[in-house]
Structure 1
Amino acid sequence: MRRLSTLPRGTKRLYGICLHLAVGASIWGYNIGILSSVLVHPGWREALDDPTPAQIGLVTGVYYLGTLLSFTLLSHPLADYLGRRRAAVIGTCALCLGAMCMAAANGSAAVGIMALGRWICGVGVGVVSTAVPLYQSEVSPAKERGRLNQNRPRWLLEKGDGDTASQVLHYLREEAMPAEAITHELHAISADVESRRKAGTTFVSLSLSLFRDASLFARLWRAFLLQFMAQMCGATAIKYYLPTLLKALGLEYRLALMAGAAEMTVKIAMTIVEMWAIDRFGRRACMTGGSLIMGVAMLVNGLLPIMYPGNENKVADIICIAFIFIYAMGYSLGLGPAAWVYSTEIFPTSVRARGLNFAASGGSIGSILVSQIWPVGNAKFGSGIYFFFMVVNFICVPVIWLLYPETKGRELEDMDSLFGKSEERNATLSLGGVAEDVGEDGGDMLSTTATHEEDEPLLP
C-alpha cells in the first residue's frame, strides 16, 4: 500500500472527504447499540417513571417508523433535489434535534418526548445513510469505489452547472489522473446524465418501474421479504433487549452489559467469516444454515426456563446464555450480512438505490413489529415468546431455499437470466451504449456493453 505522503493531492482530498463522511455509517449502529444499555439503566427507568413493556416497545419501535418514512419518501428526493451534501447536513441536524429531545425527556411527558426524539433520529439516520454512500460512490474512481463506497460532480451536472462540476472533479483528481482522463470522466458522467434525462428516468419513474416491470418486481418483493425476515427472526429483539434478557437469566447489571458487548464482538468476528463463507458455500446455504442455527437457539432459550423456572438451575441459565451467543453466530453467518449482499446484487444498477430503499423498508417494518412483540410478549408469556421466533426461523428455511435462486458466482449482468430482462435495462442499453455500471448510484466511466445470448428467465 502506498504511503500517505506519496499519494497524489487529489487522492488525499478524496480519502479525507470519504473518511470524514464514513463516520455517518457509525450513527446507525450507535443508535441501535446505545439503547440496549439505556433500557436497563436505573437512571433512565427512573426518568421515565418505570415504563411499561408497551411503552418500552413504543420507544424502541418508533425509531424504525422514522427510518421507514425516510427510506420510502424522504431520503432520495432530498439527495436528488438538494444534493448529497446538503441532505447529509439536514440528516445530521435531525439527529442532533432528536438527541436533544431524548436528553430532555423527563417528567409526566417523558415517554412521549423520548419517543419523539427516537422518531426524529430515525428520520435523520435514513437521510444520512442514503446521502453518504451516494456521495462516496460518486466521488470515488471506479477502481476504488468498493473501498470508499461523484455526487458533487454528477449532481451539479444534473442541475446544469457544468463549470462547477468540472472544477470539483479536477479538485478531487488532481495529480491522480492526467487532465485528459479527468475530462473523459466528466464527459462520461455528462453523457449518462443526459441519457437519463432523455429517457425520463426521474425519481418517480424509476420508483414506479420497480412495481410495473415484472422482472424488477420479482427482485423487489424478494429483497423486501428478505429484509423483513432478517428482522422477524428475532434480531431486533436481541439487539435491543439483550442486557434485559441476560439480567433475567441472573446476571448482574454490569456483567449483563459486558456480556452484551461480548456478543457484539462475536457478531463482528462471525461477519468476517461470513465474507469467506458466502462465496464458498453460496448465499442460500448461508442464509438457510444461519436460520436453522437461530431456530435451535430460540428453542433452547424457550424450553430451559420452562423446565427450570426462577433461575433455580445455574447450568440451565449458562446454557441459555451460550445459545444466545450461538444465535448471534447464526445471524452473522446468515441473514445479517447475506440479506444485504443478496438484495444489492439482484437489482440493475440503474434502479439499485431505489430498490434497496424499498427493500430496507421491509427491515424497518419487521423491526417495528418485533420491538413491539418482544417486550409485551415477554411480560405475558415469559420465555414462551422464544417459540414464536423459533417458528419464524424454521419457516425462513424453506422460503429461502424455494423462492430465492442462488446468485453465487454470477455477474451482475447474469441476473437477467434469473429474473428476466427488465424494460429499464433495455432502455438504458438503447441510449448510446452507456454501460450499466454507469448508474444513478454513481458510476462514472464509459464502457462497451457486451452482447450475449440471453438465457430464458428461471423465475417469473
Structure 2
Amino acid sequence: ANWVGYASSYAPENIKDFRWRFPLAMQIPPGLIVFAGIWFLPYSPRWLITQGRESEAYSALKRLMGPDDENFEVEFNRMKEQIKLEKAREVGSFFELWKRYRRRVLVSVAVQTCTSLSGVNVISYYQTILYAGVGITGKTVLLLSGAYGTLGPLVNMISLWKVDSWGRTRSLFWGAVGLVVDLTLVMTLTRFYAGTTNSVGQGFIIAFIFCYTVIYYLGFNSVTWIYGAEVLPVHIRSKGNALAAFSHFIFNIAVNQAAPTAFANIGYRFYALFIALNLCTAVIVWAYFPETKGLSLEEIAVLFGDEVVPESRLGPSINNLHGHEAGDLNSSKDLSADHFEQIHKP
C-alpha cells in the first residue's frame, strides 16, 4: 500500500484525484484473493466436533496432522472427550467467563493490550511526521514509508516460520526488551540530531526506526494473535477474543489520538512513554505468561489448572509430555500449572 501511494504521488496535476483514488481501489484485489482462497482452507477439527460433525473433524485433523502421525487417534479422542467436558460447563455470560476463567482471560487481554501500548501503530501511522522532524522532505518521506511498510511483512515471514521453535513467551519477552533498547536509542539520537545538519546522526535515527519494525514483527505481531487465542479453550474463545480485541483497539485508539498532540508539545520525549510501557510488558510476560509452545489446547488447560479428561478415557496412552510421564492429566498433584510454568519460563 505504501508503494502504491508513493507511485501515485507522481500522477500529473490534471489527474491529481488519481493520487488518492487508485490507492483506495488497490485494496480490492487482495480482498478478492483472500475470499477465493479461504474456501480451500480446512475447517477447525475442534469446531467441527462442537457442531456434531465428527467424521468431517476426523478427516480435517488427518489432513492437518498427516496420515502417518502415530498420535493421531489419541489426539482425536482427546479433542472429543475434552470438548464434551467443556460443553457440559458452557459459559453463558461475560460475568461467568470472568468468574471461571479469569486468569486465561487476563492473559489474552493483556497480550493484546501490551501490543497496542508498544507504540507500533504510532510509529507506523505517523512515520511521515517523524521523518519530517528529522529533516527529510518531499517524496523521500513516501519512499521511506514504502520501505518501512515492506520490511515488516518480510520479517513477519521469519516469525511465522520460527515461532514454534522460539516459543511464544520468549518471543514476547525479548521483543519487548528489544523495543526498549531501540526506542531509547531513537529518543536519544532525536534529542541531539533532529533538526541539525548532521546527516549521519539523522541516518541513524531512521535506521533505528526501521529496526523497530524488525524487532516488533519478530517478537510481537504474529505471536500476539496466536498466543492470545490459544490460551482460551474453544468454548469460551469467541467471548474471550472479543474482550481481547476490544482492549486492543481501545488502547490503540487512545495512544494514536494522543500522538499528534504529544509530538507537537513534548516532541521526542513522547518516546519515553513507550519505553516504560514496553519495559512493563517484559516484566508481565516474564512473571505471568505461561509458555504454550508445542502444547495442545488440552495440555494448555493443564497449565491453567482446568479440569481435563483423564488419560484412561483416551484409548492408547501418551507416553511422554515434554519429557515427563503424562499420567492422569486430571490430577493437579501429578502435573500442576506451577510445574509447567517453571519449565517454560522465557
TM-score (norm 2): 0.67
Query: Partner of 1:406: helix, strand, or coil?
Result: coil
| Residue 139 to residue 307, structure 1, CA distance change in 2 (3 Å) | closer
| Residue 323 to residue 139, structure 1, CA distance change in 2 (3 Å) | closer
1:316-395 correspondence runs (5 A): 316-395=201-280
Distance 1:138 1:362 in 2: 32
| Residue 319 to residue 350, structure 1, CA distance change in 2 (3 Å) | same
**1 or 2, which has the higher helix percentage?**
1
For residue 266 of structure 1, the aligned residue among 151, 174, 196 is: 151
Shift of 1:256: 1.3
Distance 1:369 1:313 in 2: 34
The answer on whether the counterparts of 2:134 and 2:194 sit within 8 Å (CA) in structure 1 is no
Query: Partner of 1:310: helix, strand, or coil?
Result: coil
The amino acid of 2:187's aligned partner reads: G
After superposition, the C-alpha distances for 1:382-401 in whole angstroms (9 at most, x for unaligned) are: 11111221121122212111
The answer on whether the counterparts of 1:229 and 1:366 sit within 8 Å (CA) in structure 2 is no
| 1:45 paired residue number | none
The amino acid of 1:456's aligned partner reads: S
| Residue 230 to residue 139, structure 1, CA distance change in 2 (3 Å) | closer
Distance 1:337 1:141 in 2: 21
| 1:180 paired residue number | none
1:248 aligns with 2:133: yes
* Count of residue pairs the alignment pairs up: 274
For residue 299 of structure 2, the aligned residue among 400, 414, 420 is: 414
Distance 2:143 2:153 in 1: 16
The answer on whether the counterparts of 1:293 and 1:326 sit within 8 Å (CA) in structure 2 is no
| 1:212 paired residue number | 99
Structure 1 unmatched runs, 5+: 1-29, 41-102, 104-127, 158-164, 170-190, 434-449
After superposition, the C-alpha distances for 1:199-253 in whole angstroms (9 at most, x for unaligned) are: 5947xx053432120xx21011111111111111101201211122112222223
The answer on whether the counterparts of 1:298 and 1:386 sit within 8 Å (CA) in structure 2 is yes
Shift of 1:414: 0.8
The answer on whether the counterparts of 1:287 and 1:338 sit within 8 Å (CA) in structure 2 is yes
Shift of 1:453: 4.5
Q: Which has the higher contact order (CA 8 A, sep 6+)?
A: 2
Identity %: 25
Query: Partner of 2:337: helix, strand, or coil?
Result: coil
1:25-424 correspondence runs (5 A): 140-142=42-44, 201=90, 205=92, 207-213=94-100, 216-421=101-306
Distance 2:89 2:295 in 1: 30
Which structure 1 residue ranges, 4+ long, deviate > 3 Å from structure 2?
A: 136-143, 198-202, 206-209, 450-454
After superposition, the C-alpha distances for 1:376-423 in whole angstroms (9 at most, x for unaligned) are: 11101111111221121122212111111111121211112211116x
Query: Partner of 2:336: helix, strand, or coil?
Result: coil
Distance 1:394 1:140 in 2: 39
Distance 1:140 1:406 in 2: 27
| Residue 365 to residue 137, structure 1, CA distance change in 2 (3 Å) | farther
Shift of 1:457: 2.8
| 2:61 paired residue number | none
The answer on whether the counterparts of 1:277 and 1:286 sit within 8 Å (CA) in structure 2 is no
The amino acid of 1:318's aligned partner reads: G
1:456 aligns with 2:336: yes
Distance 2:43 2:301 in 1: 26
The answer on whether the counterparts of 1:345 and 1:412 sit within 8 Å (CA) in structure 2 is yes
1:419-438 correspondence runs (5 A): 419-421=304-306
After superposition, the C-alpha distances for 1:27-58 in whole angstroms (9 at most, x for unaligned) are: xxx7xx79x99xx9xxxxxxxxxxxxxxxxxx
| Residue 318 to residue 400, structure 1, CA distance change in 2 (3 Å) | same
